[in-house]
A = this chain, B = another copy of it.
């Protein structure tokens, strides 16, 4: 259809809508016939057919076979589709919902992804055009249970480069990295089982594990991995079935596992027969690879999870699981039962197209360069507000920071939200609730001066609102 016909179709649609809005057509009324409408509006009958079809698709009119088109009176409800601004506790969902449903004017230093203009959008566009030239199967069918073959081939190569030689039976694509962790929990755990996470840890692990009705324990995280003494004690005493962590650029701290910690974690897990999920969603942001539990272990008790949401596109939605063949076999069944089929062949094909294109390495080099620059630029601006990074990470986009003395990060986040800025307060990352004076910042989302202005205002307001409470406390 050319642009002129497109415009005419829209004119016919607008005319019908205007008549309905002006009550010249009432619900149940028959629309003029195609022929009569075409004559009245001086357009071709095919333009009217197209306009009526589109109005039917919108639900405004309805076809009765052999009889014509009738006004339904249903139109679209005259409501905004925005989320209701219900007051909610500042919990893990608070951060997810505020970040995901933020309007275009909201700034999001608390979110967990890069700005859209950092992503390889031209490669994605080329990929979409290439899929548009592809076969019917790729467009129409469920695809195989383990997901897109071209993407699995590429992943096998990339994992081999890290030192993980997998058989194809050990790899399963999923709908997202989170869905991958979800499937593993379903496969390995039962409600009431004990799971160990880091403190702090990625806040959505807490939400996910709560959805599974699991018992959650946490181990303090240090700049080189979990506190090994605490880890050993808690694993021996509580016998968790599973430990979930990130070895590379841990979320939220940005720390990476040391070789010694990696070895000790694995030995302790082996001694107590505990499985480990290693979520390596930030691995490609490392300047060079840190030790990986999955590689040391050879995927015996460690399950490797990955995703392309942080590096290529969060819109395309694709993750993967690498694990023991017998576990993957069970995970395939679970994914069929709970999603039917594997992940979208179209999504897998698109990711594979971008990865195979050869520009991915350069894209990630550029991203790493920009993030290093952003870290260097953001850290002193936060320091100037009395907000101090816990460590300077080797890569990635997070800075885990301690707030000025006496500032509560949940309160600060509430105040900043009212100022149009979404933050990620410390305790949403903490099972033990010991991170109330911490905040996770995403350096890639902090280019605008408004972020720092809002932070400064919120810090000031937070101190002011504290005063009466302090005065009301009994003297120590």
Contact = CB atoms under 8 A, between A and B. Distances in A.
A63 B362 CA distance: 11
Given A121-B140, A344-B344, A58 B168 contact: no
The complex is assembled from copies of this chain, and their number is 2
B57 A154 contact: yes
A28 interface: no
A121 B100 contact: no
Q: Name, among A100, A149, A337, A362, the residue most crowded by chain B CB atoms within 10 Å (CB to CB).
A: A337
Interface string A30-65: 000000000000000000001101101111101100
A119 B132 contact: no
Contacts of A114: 140
A201 to B, nearest CB: 14
A355 B362 CA distance: 38
Contact of A161 (B72, B152, B165, B337): B72
A115 B105 CA distance: 45
A141 B315 contact: yes
A380 interface: no
Interface residues of A, number: 113
Contacts of A63: 361
A61 to B, nearest CB: 9
A144 interface: yes
A149 B103 CA distance: 13
Interface stretch (A177-185, A219-227, A244-252): A177-185
A81 interface: yes
A470 interface: no
A57 B360 contact: yes
B345 A315 contact: yes
A68 interface: no
A288 to B, nearest CB: 8
A76 interface: yes
Nearest to A334: B211
A468 interface: no
Interface in A84-99: 84, 92-93, 96-97
Interface string A102-146: 000000000001101101010011101101110111111111111
A338 interface: yes
Contact of A54 (B77, B178, B341, B358): B358
B314 A140 contact: yes
Given A100-B142, A143-B315, A361-B53, A168 B204 contact: no
Q: Name, among A165, A167, A317, the residue most crowded by chain B CB atoms within 10 Å (CB to CB).
A: A317
Interface of A: 9, 50-51, 53-54, 56-60, 62-63, 72, 74-77, 79-81, 83-84, 92-93, 96-97, 100-101, 113-114, 116-117, 119, 121, 124-126, 128-129, 131-133, 135-146, 149, 152-154, 156-161, 165-169, 175-179, 182, 186, 190-191, 204, 207-208, 210-211, 213, 309, 313-317, 332-334, 336-347, 355-362
- Nearest 8 A-B pairs (CB), nearest first? A59-B157, A53-B358, A74-B160, A54-B358, A207-B337, A116-B140, A119-B140, A116-B136
